[in-house]
Structure 1
Amino acid sequence: MDFNMKKLASDAGIFFTRAVQFTEEKFGQAEKTELDAHFESLLARADSTKNWTEKILRQTEVLLQPNPSARVEEFLYEKLDRKVPSRVTNGELLAQYMAEAASELGPTTPYGKTLIKVAEAEKHLGAAERDFIHTASINFLTPLRNFLEGDWKTISKERRLLQNRRLDLDASKARLKKAKAAEAKATCEGDTVPDFQETRPRNYILSASASALWNDEVDKAEQELRVAQTEFDRQAEVTRLLLEGISSTHVNHLRCLHEFIESQTTYYAQCYRHMLDLQKQLGSSQGAIFPGTFVGTAEPASPPLSSTSPTTTAATMPMGPSVADLAPPGEAALRLEEVAPPASGTRKARVLYDYEAADSSELALLADELITVYSLPGMDPDWLIGERGNKKGKVPVTYLELLS
């Protein structure tokens, strides 16, 4: 109990000394040991990294889970170290409602059949969203949280220790300065006594004793200063090494950012593919009702050629078969072997993602391969004709990077 009380009193004394030193520094009544410019730049970069990591983390959480109540619930589960319950995505919930509506309104009616097809597509979209959220959480959010809850807490702890070591060092410098000033004053008071006096005044004896006492105080203050300087230098080196490790943190976050973008790209590519398949399904069954609306319909949105002037007809007539000839209603196969590339206007394109042809009118693609592409008059702007060797077919523009 006695030891604990002594330790408590010692800690209270150290805390009081640091508080006095800090207050005097704020009011400009005490000198402060300044860190070098490189160290200050490391501190500023660390603070910026922490602040922006927090903002990016919060906004990514909003992107992945727009519902604030759901985010709070997930946060509480994580803090309680419990498994987050599986939650139905909005797409899956929409698919469920559409399927139930089709079942009640009549699955064999045109509206019911369409609801079933759209529900299936929305179900795939919801599953793709779930996979994206899971992948992004593991590959991007988790490393950011680990930095804030691990490395940054360690850096903050060492910075607080460095601040305390600096306050102790400056307090030791102040004590040494006061001790030297008191020693000089005591010596001066002793030197004022005349040498010819046989009996020295009593105040000279007291001053000599005070001078010896202040000599001891100076020695003690110098020893404390050496110890404080050593501890400060050691702590400054430890903190410097941790701050320089922020560069490694940036490299790790850069890798995680690439993985996040890759998962996001995969997610949107899956969404595009599901919606493309849905458009083709709806176009094959509803093309007669909604001409020119869905991919795969052959009827142009412009007036028939017979209603245009001869000049317009001659100007717009393609060299080879028209797009309407390429995709007649009700036919899946295109007579692409009869399509001749234009005399000019062909370009090279690099394939961004793998693409599986839906039918014989399309050209299957492999990522990173180079193909020749061109467009025909009246063709859907979202599609091009692609050629690879002796193979030819329609290809989606969004899967390509057109090269100059």
Structure 2
Amino acid sequence: MDFNMKKLASDAGIFFTRAVQFTEEKFGQAEKTELDAHFENLLARADSTKNWTERILRQTEVLLQPNPSARVEEFLYEKLDRKVPSRVTNGELLAQYMAEAASELGPTTPYGKTLLMVSEAEKRLGAAERDFIHTASISFLTPLRNFLEGDWKTISKERRLLQNRRLDLDACKARLKKAKAAEAKASTVPDFQETRPRNYILSASASALWNDEVDKAEQELRVAQTEFDRQAEVTRLLLEGISSTHVNHLRCLHEFVKSQTTYYAQCYRHMLDLQKQLGSAQGAIFPGTFVGTTEPASPPLSSTSPTTAAATMPVVPTVASLAPPGEAALCLEEVAPSASGTRKARVLYDYEAADSSELALLADELITVYSLPGMDPDWLIGERGNKKGKVPVTYLELLS
């Protein structure tokens, strides 16, 4: 118990000394040991890495889970080392509602059949979203959290130790400076040996006392300098390891982009399949009419650049792929308007022909269109002057 009390008293004395040194530095009453420029750059780089990692981590969590309450719940489960419960995605919930609506409104009706088709597509989208969230959490969020909760805590701990070692070093420097000043003052006391031998004895004793204080202060300074240098080297090595952290985070970032690309590719494929199903179903439900006479099913992202519009639209089959098996491809030179007649159509968006069988379109121009028996309902034959070719229905507004 006595030993513990002495240790507590010693720790309290060290804490008090550091507090005094820190306060005097803040008021400009004490000198401060400055770190070299390279070390300061390492500290600033580490702080920036920590701050931006926190921001990227938080925003990625928002991207993967926009619901704040759900994020808090998942955080609590992780802190309690419990398995996070499986959560239904928004797409899966929408698919469930659509399926229930189709069952109640009539699954054999046109509306019910369409609800079921969209429901299946939304279910696949929800499953793809679930896979993306899981992959992104493992490959991207987990490494960022590990850095903040592991490596950064170690760096912070060593930096605090370095700060304490620096305060101890500067306190030792201040004590040595005071001891030397007192020793110099004691050595200048007038020699009263002849008149006052007692004063001479006292001055000699004071001088010897301050000599001992100087020696003690120099010894403490050497120890403090050694501990400071050792701690500075440890901290420097940890700070230089930030470069390895950047390399690791770069690899994780590539994995995140890869998983996100896969997710969007799956969504595109599912929606393209759904669009084809809806086109075929609409042609069967409303025979003899044109599909997509109101708004296009999937307008391109840009109506100004034909190249951009063609790149963002779904890949459509060519003329050769439209021909039934075993028959020759459609020859545009031999195509004539059907007996049902032709119609005028206004072009909604620019369209760049994928091959010679298609007709390039410019927004707002008027063309003549007609269909052929057995032709894909998503396509029409378009004519402009002496030019003729297949055109996508989703790019047209058919005029009465």
TM-score, structure 2 normalization: 0.75
Shift of 1:137: 0.0
What does 1:97-108 correspond to in 2, within 5 Å?
97-108=97-108
Verify the 8 A CA contact 1:283 1:297 in the aligned structure 2.
no
Separation (CA, whole Å) in 1 of partners of 2:280 and 2:30: 84
Verify the 8 A CA contact 1:298 1:324 in the aligned structure 2.
no
Verify the 8 A CA contact 2:378 2:392 in the aligned structure 1.
yes
CA 1:36–1:322 in structure 2 vs 1: closer, same or farther (change >3 Å)? closer
1:27 corresponds to which residue? Answer: 27
Shift of 1:278: 0.1
What secondary structure is seen at the aligned counterpart in 2 of 1:288? helix
Shift of 1:200: 3.6
Deviations 1:270-296 (CA, angstroms, capped at 9, x unpaired): 000000000000001114778999999
Deviations 1:158-198 (CA, angstroms, capped at 9, x unpaired): 000000000000000000000000101111xxxx6776963
Higher mean alpha-carbon deviation, 39-48 vs 380-389, is at: 380-389
1:82 corresponds to which residue? Answer: 82
1:253 corresponds to which residue? Answer: 249
Structure 1, unpaired ranges of 5+: none
CA 1:310–1:262 in structure 2 vs 1: closer, same or farther (change >3 Å)? closer
Separation (CA, whole Å) in 1 of partners of 2:55 and 2:89: 25
CA 1:71–1:27 in structure 2 vs 1: closer, same or farther (change >3 Å)? same
Separation (CA, whole Å) in 1 of partners of 2:8 and 2:340: 89
CA 1:196–1:47 in structure 2 vs 1: closer, same or farther (change >3 Å)? closer
CA 1:32–1:214 in structure 2 vs 1: closer, same or farther (change >3 Å)? same
Shift of 1:365: 26
Shift of 1:260: 0.1
CA 1:361–1:110 in structure 2 vs 1: closer, same or farther (change >3 Å)? farther
Deviations 1:373-398 (CA, angstroms, capped at 9, x unpaired): 99999999999999999999999999
Higher mean alpha-carbon deviation, 346-355 vs 140-149, is at: 346-355
Separation (CA, whole Å) in 1 of partners of 2:310 and 2:26: 86
Verify the 8 A CA contact 1:132 1:267 in the aligned structure 2.
yes
Deviations 1:51-102 (CA, angstroms, capped at 9, x unpaired): 0000000000000000000000000000000000000000000000000100
Deviations 1:190-210 (CA, angstroms, capped at 9, x unpaired): xx6776963444222111101
CA 1:354–1:256 in structure 2 vs 1: closer, same or farther (change >3 Å)? farther
Verify the 8 A CA contact 2:132 2:260 in the aligned structure 1.
yes
Shift of 1:215: 0.3
Higher mean alpha-carbon deviation, 29-38 vs 380-389, is at: 380-389
Verify the 8 A CA contact 1:386 1:392 in the aligned structure 2.
yes
Separation (CA, whole Å) in 2 of partners of 1:312 and 1:229: 66
Verify the 8 A CA contact 2:378 2:393 in the aligned structure 1.
yes
What secondary structure is seen at the aligned counterpart in 1 of 2:346? strand
Deviations 1:21-55 (CA, angstroms, capped at 9, x unpaired): 00000000000000000000000000000000000
Shift of 1:371: 30
Separation (CA, whole Å) in 2 of partners of 1:371 and 1:171: 90
CA 1:108–1:381 in structure 2 vs 1: closer, same or farther (change >3 Å)? closer
What does 1:176-187 correspond to in 2, within 5 Å?
176-187=176-187
Higher mean alpha-carbon deviation, 384-393 vs 27-36, is at: 384-393
Verify the 8 A CA contact 1:95 1:119 in the aligned structure 2.
yes
Shift of 1:364: 23
The reply on whether 1:267 has 2:263 as its aligned counterpart is yes
2:328 corresponds to which residue? Answer: 332
Separation (CA, whole Å) in 2 of partners of 1:161 and 1:369: 75
Separation (CA, whole Å) in 2 of partners of 1:41 and 1:305: 45
Separation (CA, whole Å) in 1 of partners of 2:363 and 2:22: 63
Verify the 8 A CA contact 1:298 1:327 in the aligned structure 2.
no
Deviations 1:101-128 (CA, angstroms, capped at 9, x unpaired): 0001000000000000000000000000
Shift of 1:330: 17
What secondary structure is seen at the aligned counterpart in 2 of 1:35? coil
CA 1:360–1:36 in structure 2 vs 1: closer, same or farther (change >3 Å)? same
The reply on whether 1:351 has 2:363 as its aligned counterpart is no
What secondary structure is seen at the aligned counterpart in 1 of 2:302? helix
Higher relative contact order (CA 8 A, sep 6+): 2
CA 1:115–1:355 in structure 2 vs 1: closer, same or farther (change >3 Å)? farther
RMSD: 10.9
CA 1:71–1:394 in structure 2 vs 1: closer, same or farther (change >3 Å)? farther
Shift of 1:3: 1.1
What secondary structure is seen at the aligned counterpart in 2 of 1:395? strand
1:114 corresponds to which residue? Answer: 114
User: How many residues align structurally?
Assistant: 400
What secondary structure is seen at the aligned counterpart in 1 of 2:327? coil
What secondary structure is seen at the aligned counterpart in 2 of 1:260? helix
CA 1:32–1:294 in structure 2 vs 1: closer, same or farther (change >3 Å)? farther
Verify the 8 A CA contact 1:372 1:387 in the aligned structure 2.
yes
CA 1:360–1:246 in structure 2 vs 1: closer, same or farther (change >3 Å)? same
Indicate the percent of aligned positions where both proteins have the same amino acid: 95
What does 1:4-15 correspond to in 2, within 5 Å?
4-15=4-15
TM-score, structure 1 normalization: 0.74
Separation (CA, whole Å) in 2 of partners of 1:122 and 1:345: 39
CA 1:19–1:269 in structure 2 vs 1: closer, same or farther (change >3 Å)? same
Verify the 8 A CA contact 1:291 1:297 in the aligned structure 2.
no
CA 1:149–1:387 in structure 2 vs 1: closer, same or farther (change >3 Å)? farther
